[in-house]
Structure 1
Amino acid sequence: MQSHTQADAHTRALMDSFASVVGPLVAPGESYALLDFPDHPNVGDSAIYTGELEFFDAHVGRPAAYVCSLTTYRRDVGAFCPEGPLFIHGGGNFGSVWRKHQLFRHAIMEHYRDRKVVQLAQSVHYAGHDGDTLEETKRLIGQHPDFTMLVRDTPSYDFVQTHFDCPVQMCPDAAHYMWHLPPSAAPDHTVLSLLRADKEKTNPDIRPYLETVGPVADWEPQFKARTPTDRIVEKLLAPALPRNAALMRRREAMYRRQAWYRVHYGIRLLSGGALIVSDRLHAHILTGLMRKEHISLDNMYGKIRRYIDAWGPDGLVTQVSDLEALKAALAEHTGAQ
Structure 2
Amino acid sequence: MTGPGRWAGAGRRLGDLLGALIEPSDRCALLGFPSYGNVGDSAIWLGARSLLDGLGAEVVYTADHHDFSAAALAERLPSGTILLTGGGNLGDLWPSHQRTREQVIGAFPGHRIIQLPQSVHFGDPAGLERARAVFDAHPDLILLLRDEPSLRAARRAFRAPSALAPDCAFALTGLPRLARPERRILWLRRGDHESAGPDEPNGAEAPAGVHRTDWTGQEGADARWVAAAQAVRQRIAAASAEVRGTASARAVAELADAQDRHARLQLQRGCGLLGSASAVVTDRLHGHLLSLLLGLPHVVVDDRHGKISGYWRTWGHDRHRAVARRAPDADRALRAADALLADPATPRPTRGR
TM-score, L = length of structure 2: 0.87
Structure 2 residue 261 is matched with structure 1 residue 266: no
1:161 to 155, 170, 194: 155
Q: Deviations over 1:172-208 (max 9, x none)?
A: 0010111552543110011111000011012523345
Q: Is the 8 Å Cα contact of residues 206 and 323 (structure 1) preserved in structure 2?
A: yes
Partner of 1:319: 326
Q: Is the 8 Å Cα contact of residues 201 and 330 (structure 2) preserved in structure 1?
A: no
Write the distance in 1 (CA, Å) between the matches of 2:262 and 2:331. 39
Q: Is the 8 Å Cα contact of residues 118 and 147 (structure 1) preserved in structure 2?
A: yes
Q: Deviations over 1:81-111 (max 9, x none)?
A: 2222100000011101100000001001110
Partner of 2:230: 225
Write the distance in 1 (CA, Å) between the matches of 2:274 and 2:262. 19
Partner of 1:184: 178
Give 1:327 shift: 4.6
Write the distance in 1 (CA, Å) between the matches of 2:252 and 2:105. 22
Comparing 50-59 with 306-315, greater Cα deviation is found at: 306-315
Give 1:59 shift: 1.4
Amino acid at match of 1:74: S
Structure 2 residue 8 is matched with structure 1 residue 12: yes
Q: Is the 8 Å Cα contact of residues 205 and 323 (structure 1) preserved in structure 2?
A: yes
Partner of 1:31: 27
Three-state SS of the structure 2 residue aligned to 1:25 is: coil
Q: Is the 8 Å Cα contact of residues 27 and 57 (structure 2) preserved in structure 1?
A: no
1:211 to 203, 206, 220: 206
Q: Is the 8 Å Cα contact of residues 79 and 110 (structure 2) preserved in structure 1?
A: no
Write the distance in 1 (CA, Å) between the matches of 2:73 and 2:236. 20
Partner of 2:339: 332
Give 1:328 shift: 3.9
Amino acid at match of 1:187: P
2:65 to 48, 70, 75: 70
CA RMSD of aligned residues (A): 1.9
Q: Is the 8 Å Cα contact of residues 278 and 341 (structure 2) preserved in structure 1?
A: no
Write the distance in 1 (CA, Å) between the matches of 2:197 and 2:326. 14
Three-state SS of the structure 2 residue aligned to 1:65 is: strand
Amino acid at match of 1:254: A
Partner of 2:56: 60
Write the distance in 2 (CA, Å) between the matches of 1:95 and 1:61. 28
Structure 1 unmatched runs, 5+: 1-6
Superposition map of 1:109-124 within 5 A: 109-124=105-120
Give 1:131 shift: 1.4
Count of equivalent residues: 324
Three-state SS of the structure 1 residue aligned to 2:117 is: strand
Write the distance in 2 (CA, Å) between the matches of 1:278 and 1:94. 22
Amino acid at match of 2:337: L
Q: Is the 8 Å Cα contact of residues 65 and 80 (structure 1) preserved in structure 2?
A: yes
Superposition map of 1:294-305 within 5 A: 294-305=298-309
Write the distance in 1 (CA, Å) between the matches of 2:236 and 2:315. 39
Three-state SS of the structure 2 residue aligned to 1:97 is: coil
Amino acid at match of 2:90: F
Three-state SS of the structure 2 residue aligned to 1:37 is: coil
Amino acid at match of 1:135: E
Write the distance in 2 (CA, Å) between the matches of 1:91 and 1:279. 15
Q: Is the 8 Å Cα contact of residues 48 and 174 (structure 1) preserved in structure 2?
A: yes
2:245 to 229, 240, 249: 240
Partner of 1:3: none
Write the distance in 2 (CA, Å) between the matches of 1:328 and 1:264. 28
Partner of 2:136: 142
Give 1:12 shift: 2.0
Partner of 1:287: 291
Write the distance in 1 (CA, Å) between the matches of 2:237 and 2:128. 36
Structure 2 residue 194 is matched with structure 1 residue 194: no
Amino acid at match of 1:112: F
Give 1:323 shift: 4.3
Give 1:43 shift: 0.6
Write the distance in 1 (CA, Å) between the matches of 2:180 and 2:306. 31
TM-score, L = length of structure 1: 0.91
In 2 relative to 1, CA 311–101 (structure 1 residues): closer, same or farther, beyond 3 Å? same
Structure 2 unmatched runs, 5+: 344-353
Q: Deviations over 1:102-137 (max 9, x none)?
A: 00010011100111001100000111xx11110011
1:103 to 99, 103, 110: 99
